[in-house]
Chain A
Amino acid sequence: EPEVTQTPSHQVTQMGQEVILRCVPISNHLYFYWYRQILGQKVEFLVSFYNNEISEKSEIFDDQFSVERPDGSNFTLKIRSTKLEDSAMYFCASTELEEYGYTFGSGTRLTVV
């Protein structure tokens, strides 16, 4: 069964450093998403991406965050200057059509120290 692949599975970074989280969505999918889950809290929407542009973003997704689909297969989330509160599990998701359901990756656990 096709999978959404995320790398790395764990990332530890120092506060103020830039991190890039990588995702390879399912190849025929058109809609891409990033969600995050702070430990013990709900899964929260960050951003959606379609047709090479952001279609929606949440209040969390401020100027420190950016997304990119650099080569038609990867989908990346960049955090320019990490804060302690960015520590969370970050999930990438993709779908062909929304009603088909969203396939999530296994997540990247980001720890900011």
Chain B
Amino acid sequence: AQSVTQPDIHITVSEGASLELRCNYSYGATPYLFWYVQSPGQGLQLLLKYFSGDTLVQGIKGFEAEFKRSQSSFNLRKPSVHWSDAAEYFCAVGAREYGNKLVFGAGTILRVKS
């Protein structure tokens, strides 16, 4: 079965510090991958996506992610975190072979301390 694992439920970083949120997936097909961010009471905003091509993808708000097929990972990074980045981050995976529905990870709550 398809699955997405975000091993860190909570992460706390200092403002200005670098950030890496982990995402691992288990899929029987060539996946396409997404990172979404959700602020409290809000919807899911797309940060970035990988479908094919360059495995390092740039997104909005200064985020980037790297697809590593050998490690089945798609980790999200940001070199310098801002207080406004505090939110919950979801990794999601889909594949045409599985009808294009997205399977989401459990989410990582990011806290930023000043």
Closest-by-CB residue of A relative to B90 is A43
Q: Are A107 and B43 in contact (CB under 8 A)?
A: yes
Cβ-defined partner of B44 (8 Å) among A31, A55, A104: A104
The answer, yes or no, to whether A98 is at the interface (CB within 8 Å) is yes
- A-side contacts of B100, CB under 8 Å: 31, 48, 56, 98
Number of B positions contacting A (CB below 8 A): 24
Query: A33-B101, A103-B46, A106-B42 given as contacts; is B96 within 8 A of A98 (CB)?
Result: yes
B93 CB, min distance to chain A CBs, angstroms: 11
Chain B interface (Cβ < 8 Å from any Cβ of A) = 32, 34, 36, 42-46, 49, 51-52, 90, 92, 94, 96, 99-107
Chain A interface (Cβ < 8 Å from any Cβ of B) = 4, 6, 31, 33, 35, 41-45, 48, 55-56, 58, 91, 93, 98-107
